[in-house]
Amino acid sequence: MTDFTYAVDGDGVATIAWDVAGKSMNVMSTAAFALLSDLVDQGLADAGVKGIIITSAKKDFAGGMDLNVIAEMRAGGAQAIFDGVMMMHGVLRKIERAGMDPKTLKGGKPIVAALPGTALGIGLELPLACHRIIAADNPKAKIGLPEIMVGIFPGAGGTTRLARKLGAMMAAPFLLEGKLSDPKAAKAAGLIDEVVAPDQLLARAKEWVLGAADADLVKPWDAKGYKMPGGAPYHPAGFMTFVGASAMVHGKTMGVYPAAKALLSAVYEGALVPFDTALRIEARWFTSVLLNPSSSAMIRSLFINKEALEKGANRPDAPDQSVRKVGVIGAGMMGAGIAYVSANAGIDVVLVDATQEAAERGKSYSEGLLDKGVQRRKVTPEKKAEVLARIEATTDYTALAGCDLVVEAVFEDPKVKAEVTAKVEAAVGVDCIFASNTSTLPISMLAGASVRPDQFIGIHFFSPVDKMNLVEIIRGKATGARAVAKALDFVRQIRKTPIVVNDARFFYANRCIIPYINEGIRMVAEGVEPALIENAAKLVGMPLGPLQLVDETSIDLGVKIAKATRAAMGEAYPDGAVDAVLFAMADQGRLGKKSSAGFYAYDATGRREGLWDGLEAAYPVSATQPELGEVQHRLLMAQVLEAVRALQDGVLTDIREGDVGAILGWGFAPWSGGPFSWLDIIGAARAVEICDGLTARFGARFAPPALLREMAAKGETFYGRFAARKAA
């Protein structure tokens, strides 16, 4: 079995077809790269071969580099990474030069990339080294360089070649944002050269090979007098681009993503030197990024473990539980969203609300989203009609007959939820699983209203449902394995990422977010400059500062949660200082973004302006302000310690879920790979030291949990200690 096959036809055109055995998508391994190199050598050396087509025998070209290769390279240290990358550069450069005379640039053999479908990462870097890229007109195909999304950057020449092909400005969205395009858009952007009908792909590639002249094989950067499109760094226009790009990247990443900065450095420095030197510079920056712990943590959480969870890593052993017909009770903000994502995934939906009008309004939410899709040409009118036809909006519970899953998203009131549970159970068959989308009520308590508590479970979506990819599945005390499998199969159908947690106050995500918000508000009360609080959060990679976050989620919701928590905890309630600020804001009608007044001020159109200046009058800023690092430690530890406690208490049973859930659920500093990865990066001993310091100054909420202290004493890491139980 080999990853590439080689054949020469009667006209002297060799075809190298990528076809990794046993995989639906080609990925590149070290051995495959060596084989590719040999086959290219063979074609170049064979006098009977006029040119080469590199294509795929699968419906797609390639999904990228096998991430295990990257892990192996990393294990070898800096020199091994650099040597490995330079080996790849050597092979790709050989393809690009294709045997031509380096002086006259004549005598090379044409090599064309023919892409039947998706071409990502190395799957585009290899074509970029070829002399022409022809893609099949396959609207489902995705073409691009997504490496930056997992904390690395295109390191097999993609960075250098694309920057030189398009210029720094035009290459920026593809390199810095990992933008993916379908073939037509990729052609329009200059990423590829030609789009042809799928059944013409190989014929056209062959035609091009047979017709190519010497000049067609010379890359612009190898031709005399090459100038970077848009200007190199010391060209007036290029200067503007590079200064702007630097500022933009820093503004977007706040300097916490090493890959973005390294990428920009590789492009900038590479633009000042000859092409082969630029490749070496790219390899050095790539080596540096690969050795940064952020990149391995990001790949682990955002790629490997996210995918493992989506594939059912924690699914109990139960027969397929795919949902055919789902009931959604409550057509408000959440119910409407759940109905939309379900119908969109091909599931029949019965959307029930107390009045027909409310149910219809919930359905019209789907219509609105589909209309937007049609406007953007992402959705066809037929698809829109098909999805809408799947949603039955009604007040009639008997319509739920035949549902194999019902999700309730009615008011957050145990009495209302209990009534709904009873009504649903009277209408559905005995096998139906019942799920609650509650965000705060214990599942085990709600299950008390069910005659089948083993079929009762929490499926907690985040708002807005169509955008947020995390779904928290909550196992109540009585929840059975089939209910968990059902919830997981449902989440897989709607293409979201699940985590499965045990039942406890606020489950996992909210449990960690609330202390983050509270710590921010507490600091306001202490006289910490609000801008310092917000910026400290962003400078450590949080997408929103705690004050902006509470404005977005609404201050009255915060008040409601605080009151309920206080009622449940009694004397032990620790957040009086937070409530003093929160309640005062609510009393003044400053309810956050929805009332255009909160910790921030908003203009007449509801657009957020700066922090509200009344804040300083109510909570005068202290003359001495804390160090940035201390504010950051408080904000991070508030979340992270809660995650550790959730693990220690058995709410979380898998640290992979803790990390993936934190990033997808509330945007926890993605560069870190999640709270447990962050703790592993700084080390348990350092974490305990930070927490002991914070405890002494700010109180027991920062006391390191016993688990963390024990790990510090033993010198353990979370992935070292817990990955053995669950493969990471």
Residue 619, SS3 per DSSP: coil
Query: Residue 272 Cβ, how far from ligand NAD at the closest point, in Å?
Result: 50
Total residues found in the chain within this entry:
728
Strand pairing class (27-28; 600-602): unpaired
Query: Residue 662 Cβ, how far from ligand NAD at the closest point, in Å?
Result: 16
Query: Residue 355 Cβ, how far from ligand NAD at the closest point, in Å?
Result: 7
Q: Residue 68 or residue 355: which is nearer to ligand NAD going by CB?
A: 355
Neighbour-count burial for 439-470, b at 16+ CB within 10 Å, e otherwise: bbbbbbebbebbebbebbbbbbbbeebbebbb
Contacts of 320 (CB under 8 A, 6+ apart): 489
Rounded to whole angstroms, the Cα distance separating 588 from 254 reads: 34
**131 flagged as catalytic:** no
Q: CB-based burial of residue 165 (10 Å sphere; 0-12 exposed, 13-18 middle, 19+ buried)?
A: middle
Residue (of 637, 724, 618) closest to 687 by Cα position: 637
Which H or E run contains 350?
strand 348-352
Neighbour-count burial for 607-637, b at 16+ CB within 10 Å, e otherwise: eeeebbeebeeebeeeeeebeeebbbbbbbb
* Contact between 486 and 321 (Cβ < 8 Å): yes
Query: Residue 634 Cβ, how far from ligand NAD at the closest point, in Å?
Result: 26
Rounded to whole angstroms, the Cα distance separating 576 from 562 reads: 9
Query: Residue 420 Cβ, how far from ligand NAD at the closest point, in Å?
Result: 5
Q: Which amino acid is at 480?
A: G
* Contact between 154 and 145 (Cβ < 8 Å): yes
For ligand NAD, the nearest residue by Cβ is: 332
Query: Residue 232 Cβ, how far from ligand NAD at the closest point, in Å?
Result: 49
Rounded to whole angstroms, the Cα distance separating 678 from 300 reads: 12
Q: Residue 396 or residue 609: which is nearer to ligand NAD going by CB?
A: 396
Binding site for ligand NAD (CB under 6 A): 329-335, 352-354, 358, 409-412, 416, 419-420, 437-439, 460-461, 463
Candidates 89, 131, 235, 460; catalytic one:
460
With vertex at residue 190, the alpha carbon angle to CA 186 and CA 194, rounded to the nearest 5 degrees, is 70
Q: Residue 246 or residue 364: which is nearer to ligand NAD going by CB?
A: 364
Query: Residue 474 Cβ, how far from ligand NAD at the closest point, in Å?
Result: 11
Rounded to whole angstroms, the Cα distance separating 177 from 467 reads: 18
Q: Is the peptide bond before 675 cis (omega within 30 degrees of 0)?
A: no
Q: Residue 35 or residue 416: which is nearer to ligand NAD going by CB?
A: 416
Kindly report the three-state secondary structure assignment for every residue of 122-177.
Answer: HHHHHHHHCCEEEEECCCCCCEECHHHHHCCCCCCCHHHHHHHHHCHHHHHHHHHC
Query: Residue 361 Cβ, how far from ligand NAD at the closest point, in Å?
Result: 8
Task: Classify the C-alpha dihedral 89-90-91-96 as positive or negative.
Answer: positive
Rounded to whole angstroms, the Cα distance separating 476 from 497 reads: 20
Q: Could you say which DSSP state residue 327 is in? A: E
Q: Residue 117 or residue 665: which is nearer to ligand NAD going by CB?
A: 665
Q: Residue 44 or residue 459: which is nearer to ligand NAD going by CB?
A: 459
Cα 621 to the chain's mean position, in Å? 37
Q: Residue 376 or residue 467: which is nearer to ligand NAD going by CB?
A: 467
Helices H / strands E in the chain, number of each: 31, 21
Contacts of 602 (CB under 8 A, 6+ apart): 593, 596, 608, 609
Q: Residue 51 or residue 335: which is nearer to ligand NAD going by CB?
A: 335
Query: Residue 468 Cβ, how far from ligand NAD at the closest point, in Å?
Result: 9
Query: Residue 329 Cβ, how far from ligand NAD at the closest point, in Å?
Result: 5
Q: Residue 28 or residue 358: which is nearer to ligand NAD going by CB?
A: 358
The CA-atom distances, in angstroms, between 505 and each of 46, 458, 509, 512 are 70, 13, 11, 11
Q: Residue 286 or residue 434: which is nearer to ligand NAD going by CB?
A: 434
Catalogue the active-site residues.
Answer: 460
